[in-house]
Amino acid sequence: MIDQRPPTIDPIAAQRWAQRRGAQLPLQAPWLHEEVGSRMQERLDWISQTPKAWAHWAAVNGGLDTHRKIAARYPNSQCFMQEVHIDTAQAAIKFIAPAWWTPARWRSTVQAAAPAEGAVQLVWANMLLHSLADPQATIGQWQRALAVDGFLMFSCLGPDTVRELQAVYSALGWGPCSHAFTDMHDWGDMLVQAGFAEPVMDMERIVLSFASPARALQELRGLGRNLHPQRRADLCGRGYQRQLEAAITEHLTGPDGQIQLTFEIIYGHAFKPAPRIKMSSESAVSIQDMRSMLARGKVQ
């Protein structure tokens, strides 16, 4: 049994970050999120199925430019945009909507709501799971939202993310600079546990260069927060900031004068299989599963 709650994420801090991220303005995702989303949407070339409806989980955080690319790929598909705050979803819909005088705007089928059970053939979640204290619960939501044979596409940060900065913190004797990130094999196990089939996991490392420590830290603040339960509890002043920037300059500056940080990106893909429930003297089956089984003749 896979532990549903990552041991190095403070659930209260994770909830606060989700609330803050969910209400973010302006509606602009970090550059890295858009880049990862763009690479992930190219993987849709491997999928022959055209979804009648799809759901975008945390679309603003995942990237609205990426959203436009998926919408252009599936122009006749209904879309559900799930956000922590309904106002954020509605603002995002207005942001991505075509000009008011174009027919495309009148044909818009984007809804600011989570999909009903079995309502979509694609769930898309870019750079979300690594910041959740209970990711298994969200994976379960995705599985229920998908119709049979629907598929999930997601990405998140992996364990090698900012390993250079972790080494700096260790050398300074400080606590962890971030919570631990889950390995891709564990994500695959959680997908199977949640009822997904044929999970395919892969990863790549993206190395970003920064002209200064201040610029690197600015980018990291945009990407997320340190949600580790043993993170510093006190407020960090300017002295701490100067010490950290000096340590980054000393340990992470390359021959070209640039500061480099590694980000491990995990990509996941899985299908929702048809339910197979062996009937005993007493069995409980949801209406949605029963419809799927009857349609496919899967009742055994």
Instruction: Locate the domains of the chain by residue range.
Output: 11-158+181-205+266-296
Q: Would you state the pLDDT for residue 114?
A: 81
Q: Which residue has the tokens 């940060």?
A: 157
- Please provide residue 169's backbone torsions phi and psi, each rounded to the nearest 5 degrees: -60, -40
CATH numeric code, 11-158+181-205+266-296: 3.40.50.150
DSSP E strands in 11-145: the ranges are 53-57, 78-82, 110-111, 120-126
Ranges of the chain with pLDDT below 50: 1-2, 99-108, 283, 298-300
Looking at the DSSP assignment, which residues form a beta bridge with residue 208? Answer: 261
Q: Which residues lie below 8 Å from residue 17, measured CB to CB, with a gap of 6+?
A: 131, 224, 225, 227
Do 154 and 190 contact (CB within 8 A), yes or no?
A: no
The pLDDT value recorded for residue 174 is 87
pLDDT tens, residue by residue, 100-129: 444 444 344 677 778 999 999 999 999 999
How far, in Å, CA of 60 to CA of 78, rounded?
18
Is residue 184 within 8 A of residue 155, CB to CB? The reply is: no
The DSSP code for 200 is: E
| Digit-coded pLDDT (tens) for 157-206 | 999 999 999 999 998 888 889 999 999 999 999 999 999 999 999 999 99
pTM score of the predicted model: 0.84
